[in-house]
Amino acid sequence: TQLLEQSPQFLSIQEGENLTVYCNSSSVFSSLQWYRQEPGEGPVLLVTVVTGGEVKKLKRLTFQFGDARKDSSLHITAAQPGDTGLYLCAGAAGSGYALNFGKGTSLLVTP
């Protein structure tokens, strides 16, 4: 059973377009994180959200944590080819527990 459901699974867009990726769960998380992974490399942490309703911005990326701390979204404005990669959300029930990952959203941005 997948604890974290991500959608869409695949996304192919053109440079300059906006997109939103969703991460949903029926469980409450103490924190939720977003990672970006390149093929054959380890995931790289983008952001951690801990407070329900929290919004964090990282340049053209906007992350939101749901009020109930069960879901999150990642919005990319004016996507660029360098944004191409696998975006993974991950959450933990508590600080002492390991992260569970979603299946990821594979994003392709073409020039």
Partner 1 sequence: AAGVIQSPRHLIKEKRETATLKCYPIPRHDTVYWYQQGPGQDPQFLISFYEKMQSDKGSIPDRFSAQQFSDYHSELNMSSLELGDSALYFCASSIGGTRNGYTFGSGTRLTVV
| Two structure tokens written together for 87 | 């975006």
CB of 16 to partner 1, least distance (A): 28
Q: Of the listed pieces 18-26, 54-62, 74-82, 91-99, which binds partner 1 according to CB under 8 A?
A: 91-99
List the interface residues with partner 1, window 22-51 (CB under 8 A): 30-31, 33, 35, 40-45, 48, 50
Q: How far is CA 100 from CA 7, 16, 78, 83, 104, in A?
A: 16, 32, 29, 23, 12
Using CB under 8 A as the binding rule, whether residue 111 contacts partner 1 is answered as no
Task: Please give the full DSSP string across 26-93, using - where no structure is assigned.
Answer: SS--SEEEEEEE-TTS--EEEEEE-STT-EEEETTEEEEE-TTSSEEEEEESS--GGG-EEEEEEEES
CB of 26 to partner 1, least distance (A): 18
Choose which of 61, 101, 107, 109 interacts with partner 1 (CB under 8 A): 101
List the interface residues with partner 1, window 46-65 (CB under 8 A): 48, 50
**Residue whose structure tokens are 């300059």:** 16
Number of residues that bind partner 1 (CB under 8 A): 25
Under the rule (CB under 8 A), what is the footprint of partner 1?
A: 30-31, 33, 35, 40-45, 48, 50, 88, 92, 94-104
